[in-house]
Amino acid sequence: KRFCILRVLITIAFPSFVLIHASVTAQRVVTTFTGLIFCIIYTIVGFRGYPLEGKAAYCSGFNKQTADVALVVTFVMMFIDVLNVVVAVLLIVYNHRKARHLTDSSLPVKFRYRQTLHSIRQMLPVAIFHLLCFTAQYVGFEISQQQTLPEVQFVTLNSFLYMLPYFCLICPLILLFLMIQHERKKREELEGLSS
pLDDT tens profile 78-129: 888 898 889 889 888 888 887 777 766 577 777 777 788 888 888 888 889 9
**pLDDT at position 60, please?**
58
Q: 27-42 pLDDT, tens per residue?
A: 677 766 766 676 677 6
Q: Rounded to an integer, what is the distance from CA 19 to the centroid of its chain?
A: 26
**pLDDT at position 179, please?**
87
Q: Mean pLDDT over all residues of the chain? A: 76
43 pLDDT tier (thresholds 50, 70, 90): low
The residue type of 178 is L
166 pLDDT tier (thresholds 50, 70, 90): confident
At residue 185, does pLDDT exceed 60?
yes
Q: State if pTM tops 0.75.
A: no
Contact residues for 74 (Cβ-Cβ < 8 A; gap 6+): 134, 137, 138, 141
At residue 133, does pLDDT exceed 70?
yes
Nearest to 182 by CA among 118, 129, 127, 130: 118
At residue 61, does pLDDT exceed 70?
no
Highest mean pLDDT among 55-69, 118-132, 154-168: 118-132
Cα torsion 159, 163, 164, 169 to 10°: value is 110
5-14, Cβ contacts within 8 angstroms, sequence gap of 24 or more: none
Mean pLDDT is lowest, of 17-21, 80-84, 125-129, 137-141, for 17-21
At residue 195, does pLDDT exceed 70?
no
Q: Rounded to an integer, what is the distance from CA 5 to the centroid of its chain?
A: 45
